Chain A
Amino acid sequence: DIQMTQSPSSLSVSLGDNVTFTCEASENIYGFLAWYQQKLGKAPKLLIYGATNLEDGVPTRFSGSGSWTNYSLTISSLEPEDIATYYCQNNHVYPLTFGSGTKLEIK
């Protein structure tokens, strides 16, 4: 199984900050990487697929990058509504696997 390792597990940030968190796959997933945002008590929401493609309706302050085993999600100029937990997902092979998440908190 492909293991997805996210770091850090939590991040204390200030509004307006640029934030980057990372996701490392245990083997090459050829860019088949998605990012989700989950707010407290809500279902996850797809943000990015194919490592870099923004889902319709997602603000352009979100961007994804990476290849092979290393991927990152960047939020430019953090807004209050961005406070959430973010998960990456391998969609290259079964079993589909998620990272353990990065939780954003306000300083």
Chain B
Amino acid sequence: EVQLVETGGGLVQPGRSLKLSCVASGFTFSSYWMYWIRQAPGKGLEWVSSINTDGGSTYYPDSVKGRFTISRDNAENTVYLQMNSLRSEDTATYYCAKDPIPTGIPLYVMDAWGQGASVTVSS
């Protein structure tokens, strides 16, 4: 059974940093692209970042580019999201998710999701 478990959320002051982790199990982690998606309270979904299978290619929307960094450790079956210079508008539940396609060209959709990690940015 595919499982994704996010940790590292919490309350952080504006301008500070936080690092989320997502441990994967139940599939060959190193073969899949991984994603972070967030959802502000009462709002819709926003894609935050993507990473390819070996970690050599990463992608971000303008809203987090230069502040957030996605990375992965295939030996530890873990994907990370380093969030720096946090703003109040980064307050959200952060989900990690996987692509359905092993190796090759990803589909850029998310077929399995974690339960989410809550991040609150407030003084």
Binding site for B on A (CB under 8 A): 32, 34, 36, 38, 43-46, 49, 55, 87, 89, 91-92, 94-101
A96 touches B114 (CB 8 A): no
B113 touches A44 (CB 8 A): yes
CB of B52 to closest CB in A, whole Å: 13
Binding site for A on B (CB under 8 A): 35, 37, 44-47, 50, 59, 61-62, 95, 100, 107-111, 113-116
In the complex, chain A residues whose CB is within 8 Å of the CB of B35: 96
Q: Does more than half of chain A's interface fall in helix, strand or loop, or is it mixed?
A: loop
B116 touches A43 (CB 8 A): yes
Known contacts A95-B61, A96-B47; is A49 also within 8 Å of B95 by CB?
Answer: no
Selected from B46, B50, B107, the residue in CB contact (under 8 A) with A98 is: B46
B50 touches A96 (CB 8 A): yes
